[in-house]
Amino acid sequence: MDAIQIDRVSKAFAGTQAVNDVSLTVKKGELFGLIGPDGAGKTTLFKILVTLLRPDQGKAQVNGMDVVGDFRKLRPLIGYMPGRFSLYPDLSVEENLSFFATVFGTTIAANYELIRDIYVQLEPFKNRRAGALSGGMKQKLALCCALIHKPDVLFLDEPTTGVDAVSRKEFWDMLHRLNERGLTILVSTPYMDEAGQCDRIALMQTGQILAVDTPAGVENLFQKPLFAVKARETYRLIQDLRAAPFTETCYAFGEYLHLTSLPSVTAEIIRDYLIQKYHEAVEIKPIKAGIEDSFMALMQHHGEGSQHG
């Protein structure tokens, strides 16, 4: 039995198709990532899976139970950390945790083992009001509250949004440790660089799934020639490369620009073109696509993105 099974699920709000005919399977014990920007439909899909919203069409099962028909039996088996901070700000750290434990008919002591690593960092502040915690601490407390009834499947909706790069890395380390204990985790994020942390990922955009694969598999979906290009004047370089006859797309990627070219274009052709335009310190190398390259190519393939232009 799979941990999560989604079969042609759709959900619309006031004319907006938030989730559009989505099918997806998450295996038991997987750390599965839902990758996509705001408005992709990630949160709506989460709410359907944790029995807070009914789908307009389609069926979904978690741990073999239907999210509509079996919602009462299902709720104790899942943990859910919503994207917005949703603990009680006027209760202390400890009171929040014990509240959630009690609601699920258990105690902090009974399942302490599962949250120990995370909760020890919070314990010095256990009498502080949850509303007065820093962002990173709130996030850790919310994770503890989602875990305290020892769920089989954990749903984390954008746990790292707005969190700095160091704290994000720590959070993923925590997820890996939980996953190693056998917990199935479905996590969403708008940060493409986090996709590589997952066993498998689904790329989502405007309610649809663009691709489902391992991170390496998604990278391999990118089939066109790709070059990393750099020169002294970045802004002029982007403009010149976009105007070049051999260019399909050209986007900034950190220190380099990523240039997707027509077939049979070589680094020499690109270099000659740039030297004619008086670019200095030109550096060009063929590279392998990353997840973000694939995502952008898939977005364009689906006719998105370009309309934003």
Interactions with another protein, residue window 109-128 (CB under 8 A): 121
CA 193 remoteness from chain centre:
9
Q: Backbone phi, then psi, for 287, in 5-degree steps?
A: -135, 165
Please work out the total of residues on this chain that contact another protein, with binding judged by CB under 8 A: 43
Nearer to another protein, 26 or 130 (CB): 130
Binding-site member from 39, 64, 89, 286 for another protein (CB under 8 A): 39
Binding-site member from 109, 120, 166, 216 for another protein (CB under 8 A): 166
**180 near another protein (CB under 8 A):** no
Binding-site member from 68, 163, 267, 282 for another protein (CB under 8 A): 163
**20 near another protein (CB under 8 A):** no
Binding-site member from 228, 238, 267, 287 for another protein (CB under 8 A): 238
Quote the strand ranges of 223-279, DSSP E. 226-230, 247-253, 256-261
CA distance 168 to 126: 23
**255 near another protein (CB under 8 A):** yes
Q: Identify the DSSP state of 104.
A: T
CA neighbours closer than 13 Å in the CB half-sphere of residue 91: 14
**170 near another protein (CB under 8 A):** yes
**29 near another protein (CB under 8 A):** no
Smallest distance, another protein to C-beta of residue 298, A: 10
Interactions with another protein, residue window 265-304 (CB under 8 A): 292, 295-296, 299-300, 304
**235 near another protein (CB under 8 A):** yes
Binding-site member from 8, 13, 38, 102 for another protein (CB under 8 A): 38
End-to-end CA separation in angstroms for the chain: 44
CB neighbour list of residue 15: distance below 8 Å, 6 or more residues apart: none
Are 210 and 42 within 8 A, CB to CB? no
Side by side, the strands of the sheet bearing 184-189 are 78-81, 153-156, 184-189, 31-35, 200-205, 208-213
CA angle centred on 48, ends 197 and 69, rounded to 5°: 130
Nearer to another protein, 135 or 217 (CB): 135
Are 158 and 190 within 8 A, CB to CB? yes
Smallest distance, another protein to C-beta of residue 93, A: 14
Nearer to another protein, 52 or 137 (CB): 137
Smallest distance, another protein to C-beta of residue 90, A: 22
Nearer to another protein, 62 or 93 (CB): 93
Binding-site member from 58, 136, 196, 225 for another protein (CB under 8 A): 136
Burial of 17 (0-12, 13-18, 19+ CB in 10 A): middle
CA distance 28 to 78: 13
If you count DSSP H runs as helices and E runs as strands, how many of each does the chain have, helices first?
10, 14
**169 near another protein (CB under 8 A):** yes
**156 near another protein (CB under 8 A):** no
Smallest distance, another protein to C-beta of residue 192, A: 6
CA distance 159 to 62: 21
Smallest distance, another protein to C-beta of residue 19, A: 17
Q: Which residues bind another protein (CB under 8 A)?
A: 36-40, 121, 134-137, 161-170, 190-193, 205, 234-235, 238, 251-255, 292, 295-296, 299-300, 304-306, 308-309
